[in-house]
Structure 1
Amino acid sequence: MSDTKLGTTGYATVIFDLDGTLLNTIEDLHLALAHALDACGLAPATLAQTQARVGNGRAKLIERSLPASASPELTTRVTSAFDHYYAAHKNDHTHPYPGMVELAARLRDEGRRVAVVSNKSNYAVRELMDSYYPGVFDVAMGSSDTVPKKPNRIMVDTALTRLGAAAQADAAAGRAVYVGDSEVDVATAANADLPCIAVSWGFRTVEQLRAAGAATIASTADELAHAIRG
Structure 2
Amino acid sequence: MYRAAIFDMDGTILNTIEDLTSALNYAMKKAGHRHNYSVEEVKQFFGSGVKVAMMRAIAYEEGMSEEELVKVGTADSSVKESDEIDDIQKIFRPYYKEHCKIKTGPYEGILSLLKTLRKKGVKLAVVSNKQNDAVMELVKDQFEGYFDFVIGEKEGVRRKPAPDMIESCLAELHVNKEEAVYIGDSEIDIQSAKNAKMDCVSVSWGFRKRAFLEQYENIHIVDTVEELKASLL
1:18 aligned residue? 9
1:48 aligned residue? 40
How far residue 160 of structure 1 moved from its aligned partner, in angstroms, is 0.5
**Counterpart selection for 2:116 from 75, 82, 106:** 106
**Residue 58 of structure 1 pairs with residue 45 of structure 2:** no
**Counterpart selection for 2:131 from 100, 121, 124:** 121
**Residue 35 of structure 1 pairs with residue 45 of structure 2:** no
Give the residue type in structure 1 aligned to 2:90.
S
Give % identity: 36
Paired with 1:178 and 1:225, the residues of 2 have a C-alpha distance of 13
Paired with 1:71 and 1:215, the residues of 2 have a C-alpha distance of 31
1:4 aligned residue? none
**Residue 147 of structure 1 pairs with residue 157 of structure 2:** yes
How far residue 41 of structure 1 moved from its aligned partner, in angstroms, is 1.2
Paired with 1:28 and 1:63, the residues of 2 have a C-alpha distance of 19
Aligned length: 214
Counting only pairs closer than 5 Å after superposition, residues 69-218 of structure 1 correspond to structure 2 as 72-164=82-174, 167-168=175-176, 171=177, 174-213=178-217, 215-218=219-222
2:67 aligned residue? none
Give the residue type in structure 2 aligned to 1:48.
E
How far residue 117 of structure 1 moved from its aligned partner, in angstroms, is 0.1
Question: What's the Cα RMSD here?
Answer: 1.7
Q: Given that residues 6 and 127 in structure 2 are in contact (C-alpha distance below 8 angstroms), is that contact kept between their aligned partners in structure 1?
A: yes
Q: Given that residues 101 and 132 in structure 1 are in contact (C-alpha distance below 8 angstroms), is that contact kept between their aligned partners in structure 2?
A: no
How far residue 71 of structure 1 moved from its aligned partner, in angstroms, is 8.4
How far residue 184 of structure 1 moved from its aligned partner, in angstroms, is 0.6
- TM-score in terms of structure 1 length: 0.88
Q: Given that residues 25 and 93 in structure 1 are in contact (C-alpha distance below 8 angstroms), is that contact kept between their aligned partners in structure 2?
A: yes
- Rate the CA distance shift 1:126–1:214 in 2: closer, same or farther, 3 A: farther
Q: Deviations over 1:128-177 (max 9, x none)?
A: 0111111111101111012110010011000001112xx12xx2xx3211
Q: Given that residues 13 and 112 in structure 1 are in contact (C-alpha distance below 8 angstroms), is that contact kept between their aligned partners in structure 2?
A: yes
**Counterpart selection for 1:225 from 210, 226, 229:** 229
SS in 2 for 1:66: helix
- Rate the CA distance shift 1:17–1:78 in 2: closer, same or farther, 3 A: same
How far residue 46 of structure 1 moved from its aligned partner, in angstroms, is 2.9
How far residue 212 of structure 1 moved from its aligned partner, in angstroms, is 2.6
Paired with 1:117 and 1:61, the residues of 2 have a C-alpha distance of 18
Paired with 1:146 and 1:55, the residues of 2 have a C-alpha distance of 18
Paired with 2:165 and 2:196, the residues of 1 have a C-alpha distance of 9
Give the residue type in structure 1 aligned to 2:135.
V
